[in-house]
Structures are given as structure tokens and as C-alpha cells.
Structure 1
Amino acid sequence: MAAIVDASRQRRWLERHGAAVTAVISNKADAGGLIWARSQGLACAALDHRAYPTREAFDAALMAQVDTHSPALVVLAGFMRILTPGFVAHYEGRLVNIHPSLLPAFTGLHTHQRAIDAGCRFAGATVHRVTAELDHGAILAQAVVPVMPGDTADALASRVLSQEHRLYPQAVEALIAAG
């Protein structure tokens, strides 16, 4: 998230594309991203998913909160919850995410260890459209990193994360530039 905000300012998205990051919303009130976003003057909100009786109730409240900002694009960055089909449908075509694997390989969790265990020579990250099926939306951009001999999941994750910080802002900017 911070990489996207920083890129939006450094690359002057507002002047060049009429777009700006305006809000950060989390399901964790103590999320480091919220603390950082507040320090940057961004509107912030936290909705604790545990306060809602169902996933659908939480997603409805989240949708209402997101809609107060009238987003042209909803960018998931570190939001580790599976969204309901109703939420995804509401933002169809405007909802993107980044996943720490070269999709379609290794959807879900523990991607780095799974890539190592499978003997992959390469791993990476994928920016994709969000659909109701987990990690199966259209691929918008990918970055590749080598899996090194003796790699641990943490070492691989660190290399992938550095590429995520480069790739995600580029992909988001390409989307907003395309309208």
C-alpha cells in the first residue's frame, strides 16, 4: 500500500491521470498500514470483521465504507480476507489484488514454501483482477524472481516482496492511465 501511495505522489498521478489514493481501509485497527496512511494525511477506517455475525454482513459494511469514497478502482494491498461474491460483483472490473506467486500456480497461502517444495526454479508475483474464485482473475502483470539453491520461504518471500513493491504501483498506474 505504501509503495502505491508513494508512487502515486512521485509519478504525479493526480496531475497526469486525475487519480489519487484517497483512503485506506483495514479490518485491523492496529494495522501498520493504517498508522502509516494516517501519517500521510489519508482518510482511514477500520472495520473489525469479528464484530459482524457473518462474512456477508462484514462485506456489506465494508462495501458501504468503501463506497463513501466513490472509488474508480479498489486496490487490495495486504487485505487477507476472502471476499464474498456480492462484494466482488459490486466492484466488478474495478477490484485488483496482488498475489505472491506466478498465477495460476500456488493460489492461496504458503506460496513461497509450496514453490520451494515443488522444485520451482522461478517464483514471483501477479497483479490480477479479483473474481469470486480465489486468485483466478485475469492476470494484469507479473514479476519473476529466481528460486535460489538453499532458499527458505522467508528469503524467497523477501525477494518477491521487493518485486511486488515495484510491480503493483506500475500495474495500478497502467489501469488508471487506460481509464
Structure 2
Amino acid sequence: MKRRVAILISGRGSNMAALIEAATADDFPAEIAVVISNKADAGGLAKAAASGVATVIIESKPFGRDRAAFEAVLQSALDQNKIDLICLGGFMRLFTAEFVQRWHGRMLNIHPSLLPSFPGLDPHGQALNAGVKISGATVHFVIPETDAGPIVMQGAVAVADDDTPDTLAARILEIEHRIYPDALRLLAGGRIRLEGDLCKTTDGAGPAGTLISPAMRLRDV
């Protein structure tokens, strides 16, 4: 039985589209049952509808700072769609600790940095200002603290000396589109487990390789 997934968005739905595409595979252990947006003008809504995925709009602005009231309506929509798992795809609204606890171990988010480095806003600018040579993206479980949940999967890219936040973001976005579906596949397929603050794979999958940046040519060594 495939796990039923809700994707929550606020904007263009770039990662949402990658998840929807991945879920079309027969062997994918999850189905995208609904896309929910807290903004009526989110560009991802049209993409989801074009892919045949049901959409729901729950405007968050009328709720103001009353997160609990908004979440009550959101939870009702999740219940109506018999949702098992949640993926956040650029969802620009914070949750109460109570809502997060209700979905503990069942709600994923993706952040464009190699957490725990550079959480929060402008991670690409943070990375460039720090002078790191490698950056990337992280899929993690959602906990009450922002960008701090157990890490499910990470992907990395080399940082060039002439990178700008925009050029770095574009390369990292390609990584996001690869690792988010893979992380959902692991979760929906029951292939990961939580041990306290750590997430581990049950099938003993090991690292795929090594990334060193800047790369040295043989004659330079």
C-alpha cells in the first residue's frame, strides 16, 4: 500500500514538481494525494493541477498570528485526504510545537545548505560569506526548532570562487530535486529509523563517494 503524501507549498513548487514526477514511477512507495497552499496565487498550484494532483487553498493571512487556528483547518484537510506523510516544499509558515509533534517522524522539509551549517534565511549568502568550498542541500525531519531536525539525506556541490548567491542557488536546486524524492522514497518505504536526534537507514546504505573541492590535477600534487 502506497503512503499518501501531502505537499505544502507557498510559491512556485519547484521541489513539489520533482516529488510529483518521482511518484509517477510504479515502484515508488508513495503517492502525492494533495498539494496544499497557504497562498491562492502560488505558482505551484497550476503545476500540481496540470499533473492531475488535487489542490487545496487555505489562506493563512486571515489567521494572522493565530497559528493554531490555521493548523486546525490544515489538519482537517489532511484528515479528509487520509494523509500519512507531509513534505514541505517552500512552505513559508511556521508551525506550533503541537502540530509538529503530531506529525513527528512523518513530516519532511528541505533546506538549501549542508545543515547544521547556515540554517534560516539566505543560506547561500551565508555560505559565500563563510568562504566554504562545498555547499548543498539537506532533507530533514521537521521539529519545533527551525532547520534542526534529524537529517535524512544530503547532497553537495562545489562552490566556485566567482559564485553569487543566485548561481550557487541554481546548482543546489538541481541537487534538491534529486535528493528530496530519494528521501521520501526511504521514508515511505520504511527504510529509515529515528534514534533520538539521528536518522539512520535500515538497509545499511553507505556513502556513494567523496567530494573534494577545489579539485587538484595530478600534476599539481
Q: Aligning the two structures, in what range does the TM-score lie when normalised by the shorter sequence?
A: over 0.9
Partner of 2:168: 156
Q: Is 2:15 the counterpart of 1:4?
A: no
* Contact 1:60–1:87 (CA under 8 A) maintained in structure 2: no
Partner SS, residue 45 of structure 1: strand
Task: Identify the structure with the greater strand proportion.
Answer: 2
CA distance in 2, matches of 1:2, 1:83: 23
Matches within 5 A, 1:1-179: 1-9=16-24, 11-13=25-27, 17=29, 19-53=30-64, 54-178=66-190
Query: Identity of aligned pairs, percent?
Result: 45
* Residues matched between the structures, number: 175
Q: CA RMSD in A?
A: 1.2
CA distance in 2, matches of 1:98, 1:84: 19
CA distance in 2, matches of 1:43, 1:144: 33
Query: What TM-score comes out, normalization by structure 2 length?
Result: 0.76
CA distance in 2, matches of 1:90, 1:177: 20
CA distance in 2, matches of 1:78, 1:61: 19
Q: Report the Cα offset of residue 150 of structure 1.
A: 1.2
- The residue type equivalent to 1:12 in the other structure is D
Q: Report the Cα offset of residue 132 of structure 1.
A: 0.5
CA distance in 2, matches of 1:159, 1:79: 21
- Structure 2: state its 5+ residue gaps: 1-15, 192-221
Q: Report the Cα offset of residue 81 of structure 1.
A: 1.6
- Structure 1: state its 5+ residue gaps: none
- The residue type equivalent to 1:25 in the other structure is I
Q: Report the Cα offset of residue 56 of structure 1.
A: 2.0
Look at both structures and tell me which one has the larger radius of gyration over its CA atoms: 2
Q: Report the Cα offset of residue 4 of structure 1.
A: 0.5
Instruction: Give CA deviations for 1:71-126 in whole Å, capped at 9, x if unaligned.
Output: 11111111122211121111111111001110001111100001000111111000
Partner of 2:216: none
